A = this chain, B = another copy of it.
Amino acid sequence: MALLLQPRCRCRALDRAAGLFYTGQTLTFWTVKGGEDMRIVTIKDVAKAAGVSISTVSRVLNDRQDVDPGSRARVLAMVKKMNYIRNQNASNLKQLNKAAIGVILAGRSNSFLISMAEDVLEAGRGTGFQFIMEIIDEKANPFLAARKLYMEHRLQGVIFLGSNLEGQENEVKRLELPQVYATIEANHIDCAHVSSISINNRRAGKMAVGRLIELGHKNIALLGYFSKVDDSTGQRLHGAVDALHEAGLSYDPGLFAEVDFTLASAHEGVKNLLDQGKKFTAIFAASDIMAIGAIRALSDAGLKVPQDVSVIGFDGIELTRYLVPALTTVRQPRKQIAQESVRILREMIDGGKNSHVLLPCELIAGESIAPVKEG
């Protein structure tokens, strides 16, 4: 790379053997090898500069106590001076029995899950486990991701956030690692190394629609999708139908719009219902994002929330509190799910039993629902 020789960058090419070299304020340690001419400082370079063996450098880097304080000081000084950065590839390749936990996050743009991933990392602090997070596409294979992570980091266990287990029972079992499914009810999977923690999505959906019914709503549109196997989203909708039935109302499939977890899809779904002249006074959306898309579609049609149509979302993301009107939503206990995921996984890793936990959830009163209009 010719640009390395530009004087304005205060860099000078230098053979590896020459060791350290000062140019201006910048300490430059340089290697020219096989066409590569970018500075790479390895443990070997540090060892040479500090006058110790690579074993000793490694010991210092790994905070082992059996190192002479003087050696340690010299090594640390050189590490800093030479800007040494450990090559994790090499480290991982060798270090087999690490205490590592993988976190597979399915869905890059799902802010609820991203927040929960942060909660998981937070909950993992001080546990002695290294948490390795992998963000994958919503449609990607989470088990493959977990296997890969295992290959590369020798995980002791995995936490899955937001993965869909639809028809994946065999994959789950074949991943022979303690695993916790967060936000997903996985109690139908009968495998001793599988736990799950979530809310009771069906009851949550029932609660939300129950509230709408209490307010006098009878024609309630539902947004979401039913999977082949009942996943979280489907359960929420099933719960909605439960509430209708319990109130002696019938479920009108014409008021269901199949939408995914995007603003655009929800917007279009509700627009379609309106265009078809469907009559409804309330909407239950299987996610907050869907609810926001829905509200916009209502607004486009001149309908006001909650005066003309009540809307309830799901998840309880931070944004809901800042919307005008604030969105009424079913709040999942995000932090608690995160913390319990870590706790349960650690328990399993320590040889404890698996468990399938259902946490209570809450209907957060916003400003987006109101009693049904007379007439």
Contacts and interface: CB of A to CB of B under 8 A. Distances in A.
B93 A190 contact: no
A6 interface: yes
Interface string A281-301: 000000000001101100100
Q: List the number of copies, as a whole number.
A: 2
A62 interface: no
Nearest to A3: B193
A217 interface: no
A335 interface: no
Given A8-B191, A295-B324, A322-B267, A87 B96 contact: no
A120 to B, nearest CB: 13
A191 to B, nearest CB: 6
Nearest to A193: B3
A40 interface: yes
Contacts of A144: 85
A9 B85 contact: no
Nearest to A117: B108
Interface string A189-220: 01111000000000000000000000000000
A153 to B, nearest CB: 8
A158 to B, nearest CB: 12
A21 to B, nearest CB: 14
A57 interface: no
A93 B87 contact: yes
Contact of A9 (B4, B35, B40, B192): B192
A177 to B, nearest CB: 7
Contacts of A58: none
A299 to B, nearest CB: 4
B114 A108 contact: yes
A38 interface: yes
Contact of A151 (B10, B85, B267, B319): B85
Contact of A118 (B93, B108, B323): B108
A25 B144 CA distance: 19
A90 B89 contact: yes
A276 interface: no
A36 interface: yes
Contacts of A34: 96-97
A292 B296 CA distance: 15
B87 A263 contact: no
Interface string A23-67: 001100000001110111000000000000000000000000000
A351 B2 CA distance: 7
Given A8-B192, A108-B114, A191-B8, A152 B324 contact: no
A296 B325 CA distance: 9
B154 A36 contact: yes
A93 B88 CA distance: 9
Nearest to A115: B109
A178 interface: yes
9 contacts: A26-B170, A85-B151, A89-B89, A89-B90, A90-B93, A111-B111, A267-B322, A296-B324, A305-B324
